[in-house]
């Protein structure tokens, strides 16, 4: 299989200066792995991401999903000529997470000239699916 990346994501840059001072850093989201056709990251299930019942807030799941898909989408493009912006995101929450990490994997469904569609699967540390998300990115010229 050939790689989807125009610019292969650099974990040190993404986890450092790129996201410093953003919601990504505030929630403790980290990008952990890059494959030929996916990007993976984690988010802690803790007081930063919980809702009042002691489980990860659905909105925090959406932030993780959109972060993974947006970072992946950006790296498929030529940074010098194009960028992508989130246009629509949906999430179906299947199982609560009350401790450990939420692990997300983003893979493309469609990589077009004007839009991308990404599927982001969130799992708990036991590998059980906790949320499935779809992200549509608008591709625009710089």
Report which of 60, 70, 54 is spatially closest to residue 106, judged by C-alpha positions: 70
Could you give the angle at the alpha carbon of 32 between the alpha carbons of 21 and 3, nearest 5°? 115
66 is a catalytic site residue: yes
Strand partners, 137: 86, 116
Q: Residue 39: how many CB atoms within 10 A of its CB?
A: 27
Query: Considering 12, 30, 33, 66, which one is annotated as catalytic?
Result: 66
Which residues participate in catalysis according to the annotation?
A: 66
């Amino acid at each position: 299989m050939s790689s989807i990346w125009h610019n292969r994501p650099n974990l040190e840059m993404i986890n450092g200066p790129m996201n410093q001072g953003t919601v990504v850093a505030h929630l403790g989201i980290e990008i952990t792995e890059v494959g030929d056709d996916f990007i993976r990251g984690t988010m802690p299930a803790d007081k930063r991401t919980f809702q009042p019942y002691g489980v990860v807030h659905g909105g925090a799941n959406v932030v993780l999903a959109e972060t993974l898909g947006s970072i992946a989408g950006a790296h498929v493009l030529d940074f010098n000529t194009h960028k992508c912006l989130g246009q629509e995101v949906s999430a179906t929450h299947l199982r609560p997470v009350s401790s450990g990490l939420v692990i997300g994997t983003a893979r493309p469904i469609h990589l077009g000239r004007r839009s991308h569609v990404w599927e982001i699967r969130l799992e708990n540390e036991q590998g059980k699916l906790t949320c499935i998300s779809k992200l549509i990115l608008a591709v625009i010229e710089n």
